[in-house]
Amino acid sequence: MINLRRPIDTRDRALQVARELFAERGYRGTSLRDIAKRIGVKAPSLLHHFPSKQQLYLAVLDQLFESVEDATKAIVWTHDSRQERMRQAVADMVDFIASHPDLVRIMWKEMADESGVGRQVLKRRLPPLFSTAVKFIFRGQRDGEFRSEVDPLHFMWGLNAITIGYFAISAMIQRLWSINLLEHAMIDRRKRELTDMVERTLFTF
C-alpha cells in the first residue's frame, strides 16, 4: 500500500490546529480527540509528539510569545523621534494583532484566567515585554516628549486592554452587530483611533 503518512507534518499541524481550537474554545473546552480528529489522526498519536495535553498547550503558547517578541524587536530600531516611533509602534501593533487573531484570543484568555495552565509562561515572558515599553516611555518623559504625569506601567496596561482586549471580543461583536473588526477598513479606522488617543493622552505638544 502507498504510504500516506508525512511524519514531520503531524507535529506542525497539531500545533496549528491546537492553536485554532484553544483560541476558539479554551484549554478545557478543547480535547485531544478534537484536535486529533481535525488532523485526521487518533488522539494517542498526538502524545507521540507531545508528552501531554498540557505540554502541547505550552508549546502553542511558547510559539505565540516568540512571534510577539519577534514583532517587538522589529519595531524598536528606527531613528525617528520617540513620538513618531510611538505612533508607528501602535500602528504596527494593530496590524500584528489583526493578522494573528488566534494569538490575541489565547493570550487574553490566559491573562484573564486565574487557574490558567500557562501561568508560569506568562510570569516569565510578559514582564520583559512590558518592561521594554515602559522604559521607552520613561525615556520619552525624561526628554519632554511624553507627559510626565502619565504612569508608564499603568498606561501600558490600559493600552494592552484597549488593543488586545478590543480584538479579543471581535467574535462577539461580529455576532451581535454583524461588524467584522478584522476587516481592512476597520483595522485602519482602529489604527487612527488608537493613534489619536495615544497622541492626546501621552504626547506633549
Partner DNA sequence: TTGACAGCCTAACGGACGTTAGATAGATTT
Partner DNA sequence: AAATCTATCTAACGTCCGTTAGGCTGTCAA
Residues engaged in binding DNA (CB under 7 A) = 1, 3, 5, 7-10, 30-34, 36, 40-45, 47-49, 52-54
146 bridge partner residues: 203
Distance CA(5)–CA(2), nearest Å, equals 9
The answer to the question of residue 91 lying near a copy of itself (CB under 8 A) is no
The answer to the question of residue 111 lying near a copy of itself (CB under 8 A) is yes
The answer to the question of residue 37 lying near a copy of itself (CB under 8 A) is no
Q: How far is the CB of 194 from a copy of itself (least distance, A)?
A: 8
User: Binding residue for a copy of itself (CB under 8 A) from 26, 47, 95, 102?
Assistant: 26
Q: How far is the CB of 112 from a copy of itself (least distance, A)?
A: 5
The answer to the question of residue 101 lying near a copy of itself (CB under 8 A) is no
Q: How far is the CB of 163 from DNA (least distance, A)?
A: 30
Q: Which does 53 bind (CB under 5 to 8 A by kind): a copy of itself, DNA, none?
A: DNA
The answer to the question of residue 182 lying near a copy of itself (CB under 8 A) is no
Q: How far is the CB of 47 from DNA (least distance, A)?
A: 5
Residue 30, judged by CB atoms within 10 A of its CB (0-12, 13-18, 19+), counts as buried
The answer to the question of residue 185 lying near a copy of itself (CB under 8 A) is no
203 bridge partner residues: 146
Q: Which does 182 bind (CB under 5 to 8 A by kind): DNA, a copy of itself, none?
A: none
Per-position b or e across 102-133, b if 16+ CB within 10 A of its CB: bbbbbbbbbbeeeebbbeebbeebbeeeeeeb
User: Binding residue for a copy of itself (CB under 8 A) from 40, 114, 184, 185?
Assistant: 114
